[in-house]
Copies of this chain bind each other. A is one copy, B any other.
């Protein structure tokens, strides 16, 4: 969904604010496998996935691990860069053709400073992010690979159609071979 539509859909933002924000938004469509954000960058942009699917990953030497997947209407936030002015270890890769709306955090913050609605909206996004991260840690620590796989199948079946097995396996914390075997025994 178009980010502006999405904002309005959230009911927190007025037309006035969304229009101010829209001036700062840049859009770009990425092809499959293209990097939306390279690793070890210090981008201070917010990445909103308008269409398609991407994955947030960390890569080093031969290791490549998927941190999480970004589906439509989700936001990728290089926290380290934006809030700590450090290079962000993670990159974002398009898994399908993906349309991304980008806005510099600086602009976002400027508008938010004068508008409590946007600040509350930011907070809501962060709460969502925290919820996901907390659930993620819980799953990584409490479930067996098989259980994590089952959870994923029921919650994000569509990812299996869009992401290569290796990316999914590293998200689940197992190797591609193990995932292939889990999947084989139904």
Contacts and interface: CB of A to CB of B under 8 A. Distances in A.
Interface of A: 58, 60, 63, 65, 67, 77, 79-80, 83-84, 89, 113, 116, 119-120, 122-123, 126-127, 129-131, 133-134, 136-138, 140-142, 170, 173
A77 B131 CA distance: 11
A79 B126 CA distance: 11
A52 to B, nearest CB: 23
B142 A58 contact: yes
A-side interface mostly: helix
Contacts of A84: 131
A79 B131 contact: yes
Contact of A134 (B79, B122, B123): B79
8 contacts: A58-B141, A79-B131, A79-B134, A80-B134, A122-B123, A123-B123, A123-B126, A137-B137
A65 B138 CA distance: 9
A16 to B, nearest CB: 18
Contacts of A80: 131, 134
Contacts of A170: 141
